[in-house]
Amino acid sequence: MKATAIATFFGVFLTCTYTAKEATKKPKKPKLYFALTDVPQIDCDVKAGKIINPEFIAKCPPGCQDVKYRVYGTDIYASFSSVCNAAIHSGIIDNTGGKILVQKVAGHSAYRGSFSNGVRSLSLPRWRESFLVSEGKPRKGVTYPSTLEYSSSKSTAVKSEPKKPEQDPKGMKSADTSNTSEKASEQGDAIRKEYQTSPVPTPATQMATTTPTPMTTTTDPSTTVPQPTTTPATTRTTAAAAKTRPGLHRVREMGSSSVHPAYASVVAAASRQVQAAQGRGQNTAFRGTSTSTSNRNIVRHNTGIQRQEPVATFQRAAGSPAHLGFSSKEELNPKPLESISQGNQNCKVDLSFLMDGSWSIGKRRFQLQKRFLGNVAQALGIGSAGPLMGIIQYGDDPSTEFNLKTYANSKDIRNAIEKIQQKGGLSNVGKALSFVNKNFFLDANGNRGGAPNVVVVVVDGWPTDQVEEASRLARESGINIFFVTVEAAAQNEKQNVIEPNFVDKAVCRTNGFYSINVPSWFSLHKVVQPLVKRVCDTDRLVCSKTCLNSADIGFVIDGSSSVGTSNFRTVLQFVANISKEFEISDTDTRVGAVQYTYEQRLEFSFDKYSTKEDVLSAIKRISYWSGGTSTGAAISYASEQLFSKSKPNKRKIMILITDGRSYDDVSVPAMEAHRNGVIAYSIGVAWAAPDELEAIATDPHKEHSFFVDEFDNLYRYVNQLIQNICTEFNSQPRN
């Protein structure tokens, strides 16, 4: 009995002890990390600002390395960058995709653009939110969601802690202004962060109730046109002071058929506002819960907050469709073109701008470029007696937006620039320069002939094709090429530039006059006046001076007895054939002639005739002299009577034709002429001495000395001589 009692006691004791241990045992912690199959996948175009989660792991698909998925910053990225392309830029993944860890951080005052891992990121002055990208491994102690929460009307997540209102970064709009649903998402996110709300036990498709807050309006940072020189457009006013911007009559229907009582009264109030606006003849646009609408006046039913962009900061993008909430009265009743302006007569140039329409520039920077071109047009003073301006947009291929004769005043050009839509594609500057050379400066397009031809190339970073050959051909056609390079390649990016030193290979001179480097698109406005001053300085537009319009050509013609009358007429025809290839006027190429025997005679000087017809007639009237052959004395005479009176900006070219050996020395007079800048070509016929021909000719002799066995073969060297003159002209140092 006693043994039984003891056994029972121990049994009860052990049972109680086990039960107590089980009761005090700590529960197991749930797993903090999810399996690979739980990693949410995001698309290439998803931006960090669209995702509410402050930290998350996601999987990027293949193919995100594309210029259309824009990235802003280096190492630390602005929140409206593509998450996946930022990960490629940072080297976390490549174009095959993969897992990444994203952490949201505070906004920065400056984001530096760079080229890394095949992705070019852009610079940005500042933005309200940033993010970091790292390897897609979970951090210890952090729980990651298996489903990401996006900032849209369908999201059920709410913030319970009020935060400081978001600041608008200098009124800048989002990089991709065409994505209107994304704008609405960012607006919703900003309001969700700013106001205290409480959850509502309703389905996900219904709205959330809010605590009463004052009706407030704010500007939308994703849609405001950038104003680099002004203060941030973050004006906040009460609803009583806010004015409704004119728009289209439209009320967006709710996404769900079940209407929650908490916002039924708000919907009714919105309807009453629409009816009241119709009664006053106003156009007012409201938006409900759908984030796909593109109207900018938003009635937020879940907060009772109206977010509206002030009229003063709104600028309609060129070509925007009518449903964006602005009045289309201006489009329906276009204003007639202004009367033709005389323009700035101190700046008579024919000007073509090559504007960069590539994807790399982005939509916001494209708008900055348009504003820059409009300001240049205004500063130039466009007019029929002053500068004329056309625009070519280039991407993969160039296309003319308007030519020189389309508009005759600055205002019409500025209006036309506002309507230009971005083409996209690469930055094929070389192809664009070839297009300009062949198609733009034509009489049919308004080219005036007497005005210098100027091309200004605006390029983001660097071209994606070769520019040297196209630029050379354009310069040889007399086109002055300027480059405005924005955000040029940094030192660590230069290995990615297809053609190193592409600016120096393209411009007319490498002395800095023809090139302007701008560190940022946001400071482009600072170079308007310097650029206008340069393109209007016609005395320095040296590319307008071609091999055919910038020389003083002096013919030194052997009239000795050995030539004979018939052959002398053949020589004169050879002189005329050469002369007719040049552009002859008192400001272009000028022609003079000396005939010699023992003596010398000035047939006509450089300033005697100013038209090609007069020069050709004067050549025809030269009479054959006959006599001995003193070539050395003739060279000295030509130097004194012709080339000493040449204009300083003219190339001095002597073309000497002789049929025999000279009675005097030719080397000393020739060397003296060379020292005075005379470029000498010698043409020998029949009994001419080769050693003398070489002594007369400028080095290298092979390119400046020719010999034919008889006078009738002189014509064969006309084209060769012109080609050598132009080759030498174009090979001059460009500095």
Flag whether 162 is in a domain: no
CATH number at residue 415: 3.40.50.410
Task: Note whether 609 and 514 are same-domain residues.
Answer: no
Per-residue pLDDT at 30: 42
Say if residues 295 and 309 touch (Cβ distance below 8 Å). Answer: no
CA distance 629 to 163: 100
Per-residue pLDDT at 444: 92
Residue span of the structural domain in which 705 resides: 551-731
87: helix, coil or strand?
helix
* Spatial CA neighbour of 71 closest among 24, 118, 16: 118
Task: Note whether 532 and 588 are same-domain residues.
Answer: no
Per-residue pLDDT at 291: 34
Flag whether 638 is in a domain: yes
Q: Tell me what percent of the residues of the chain surpass a pLDDT of 70.
A: 69
Flag whether 238 is in a domain: no
Flag whether 15 is in a domain: no
Q: What is the dihedral of CA 637, 638, 641, 644, to 10 degrees?
A: -120
* Spatial CA neighbour of 343 closest among 386, 389, 378: 386
CA distance 561 to 659: 10
Per-residue pLDDT at 152: 56
Flag whether 412 is in a domain: yes
Per-residue pLDDT at 300: 29
Number of domains making up the chain: 3
> Which residues of the chain, if any, have pLDDT below 70?
1-37, 125, 152-340, 734-735
Q: Cα(first)–Cα(last) distance of the chain, in Å?
A: 122
CATH number at residue 116: 2.170.130.20
Task: Note whether 477 and 573 are same-domain residues.
Answer: no
Task: Note whether 527 and 555 are same-domain residues.
Answer: no
Task: Note whether 530 and 664 are same-domain residues.
Answer: no
Task: Note whether 536 and 587 are same-domain residues.
Answer: no
Edge to edge, what strands does the sheet with 705-708 contain?
600-604, 590-596, 551-558, 651-658, 678-685, 705-708
- According to DSSP, residue 697 is labeled S
Task: Note whether 397 and 490 are same-domain residues.
Answer: yes
Q: Read off the tokens for 37.
A: 């199959």
Task: Note whether 60 and 99 are same-domain residues.
Answer: yes
* Spatial CA neighbour of 308 closest among 239, 371, 354, 365: 239
Task: Note whether 415 and 525 are same-domain residues.
Answer: yes
Query: DSSP secondary structure string, 341-410?
Result: P---TT---EEEEEEE--GGGHHHHHHHHHHHHHHHHHHHT--TTS-EEEEEEESSSEEEEE-TTT--SH
What are the two backbone dihedrals, phi and then psi, of residue 516, each rounded to the nearest 5 degrees?
Answer: -130, 125
**Which ranges constitute the DSSP H helices of 547-594?**
565-579
> Of 486, 515, 540, which residue sits at a domain end?
540
Task: Note whether 559 and 662 are same-domain residues.
Answer: yes
Distances 286 to 51, 98, 184, 274, 294 between C-alpha atoms, Å: 25, 41, 13, 8, 10
- In our burial notation (b when 16+ CB lie closer than 10 A, e otherwise), range 609-642 reads beebeebbebbeebebbeeebbbbbbbbbbbebb
pTM for the model stands at 0.46
pLDDT tens, residue by residue, 311-367: 333 333 333 333 333 333 333 333 444 456 788 999 999 999 999 999 989 999 999
> Of 483, 508, 540, which residue sits at a domain end?
540
Flag whether 3 is in a domain: no
> Of 135, 158, 176, which residue sits at a domain end?
135
Task: Note whether 603 and 562 are same-domain residues.
Answer: yes
Flag whether 267 is in a domain: no
Task: Note whether 593 and 666 are same-domain residues.
Answer: yes
* Spatial CA neighbour of 620 closest among 586, 661, 654, 579: 579
- For 638, residues 6+ apart whose C-beta sits below 8 A from its C-beta are 554, 556, 594, 600, 654, 673
Say if residues 679 and 643 touch (Cβ distance below 8 Å). Answer: no
Flag whether 439 is in a domain: yes
User: Other C-beta atoms within 10 Å of 17: how many?
Assistant: 10
